[in-house]
Amino acid sequence: MPTLETLFVFALAALALVAIPGPNHLYIVARSIAQGRRAGLASAFGIETGTLVHIAAAAAGLSALIASSAVAFNVVKYVGAAYLVYLGIRALLRDDAALLDGARAPAPLRRVYTEGVVVNVLNPKVALFFLAFLPQFVDPRHGAAATQIVGLGFVVFLIALASDVIYALGASALGGWLRRRPAFRRRQRYVTGGVYVALGAVAALSGGERDRP
């Protein structure tokens, strides 16, 4: 494993990167506002379960495959964007009147969690983050590279999970206030659906096509 000094520097760098709001945070905020604290926390744990998948993939070398193949990168990119748009359209078509009147239950926490996993796993930029960021702190003198990547990745996981939980709790508190406002309750599906569709559009359009190396 890396030295304690390396781990400390890595943790500070990871904290600075994780603290920047991104698509994962927006997804958690949308879920928290729409359904409250439990759904927000479920989405946060789902997102970070996806991070564990990326850590395993980075250790196994799959991130390098995505980074080196334009086809693989773009397939994952557009499938992830399409999934976000699908979530947005489903939210826009939801019958909020039935939900608010108690005729229909909110999305089960298991589904909220699973969607969080899928959203993060289908984000190729997270894979590229681990490929570009973690190796800078790997020292072959301190053991196998895969083992060090897993250890460093777990540090990122813990920091990101703490950040996601803070976002979930803050957004759920805001959501509780908003849901007591009839005007917001009538427009809630447009806010939630709009966030998902916007995330899908950003995911699809940002970065452009990757060129083959």
Pick from 56, 39, 57, 44: nearest CA to 18: 44
Does 112 reside within a domain? yes
The string of pLDDT tens digits covering residues 123-143 is 777 777 777 777 777 776 777
Instruction: Give the span between the Cα atoms of 185 and 194, in whole angstroms.
Output: 15
Does 182 reside within a domain? yes
pLDDT band of 114, cuts 50, 70, 90: very high
The confidence score (pLDDT) of residue 102 equals 45
Pick from 185, 32, 196: nearest CA to 97: 185
Tokens of 65: 């495959």
Tokens of 25: 């945070």
Pick from 32, 73, 203, 54: nearest CA to 130: 54
Q: How many domains does the chain have?
A: 1
Could you tell me how far CA 200 lies from the centroid of its own chain? 12
Q: Is 209 helix (H, G, I), strand (E, B) or coil?
A: coil
**What CATH number corresponds to the domain at position 74?**
1.20.1250
Does 46 reside within a domain? yes
Instruction: Determine the structural domain holding residue 104 and report its residue range.
Output: 4-15+22-205
Residues in the chain, overall count: 213
Strands (E), the chain: none
pLDDT band of 161, cuts 50, 70, 90: very high
The string of pLDDT tens digits covering residues 19-50 is 777 778 888 988 888 888 999 999 999 999 99
Instruction: Give the span between the Cα atoms of 151 and 156, in whole angstroms.
Output: 9
Does 213 reside within a domain? no
